[in-house]
Chain A
Amino acid sequence: GNSVTQMEGPVTLSEEAFLTINCTYTATGYPSLFWYVQYPGEGLQLLLKATKADDKGSNKGFEATYRKETTSFHLEKGSVQVSDSAVYFCVLYNFNKFYFGSGTKLNVKP
């Protein structure tokens, strides 16, 4: 079947620290992978996506590489800011369906 597993949070970092949020998946066929961000009290916003193996999605300093050999799509940012504090969701799309990870809360302290 299809599923997404994210690292549990919360993740607490100091400003300018390096961020990694792990995401692994199980899927048949050729899924697409996404990261969404949710700020408090708001809807989800698309952060980045990758549609095939070895693609790298990037946006606002965040990056994630679609690794088929390790079935992973880890989110990284070199230097986080307080404004990056939010919940991050890893999402898989396969055969017309979306599968969500449970979300990882990031707290960035000044």
Chain B
Amino acid sequence: DTAVSQTPKYLVTQMGNDKSIKCEQNLGHDTMYWYKQDSKKFLKIMFSYNNKELIINETVPNRFSPKSPDKAHLNLHINSLELGDSAVYFCASSQGLQGGGGYTFGSGTRLTVV
């Protein structure tokens, strides 16, 4: 009955590889997000999708490509991984922030690039 689930939870890979992180929400929310949390715990938005349409792309390198096949899924593909991509990536969803309730976050994917 997990509300926002993302896989995998841990991902260790070498520089230059391509990897994907998957996210699914069963809350019926219209909007989904990817956030990156760095080693200092700072959370920064990467992408926002509303009903499968890209709303926000926060100057993320084009090596990062989100894909939303339907409004319940928002996957993140990363090409040519770099050391600086190491972080925890969080997927989240909401039914529009102005309606209240904020985001519901997944449990995160810890990506380590070696």
Q: Do A and B come from one complex?
A: no
- Chain A interface residues (CB < 8 Å from chain B): none
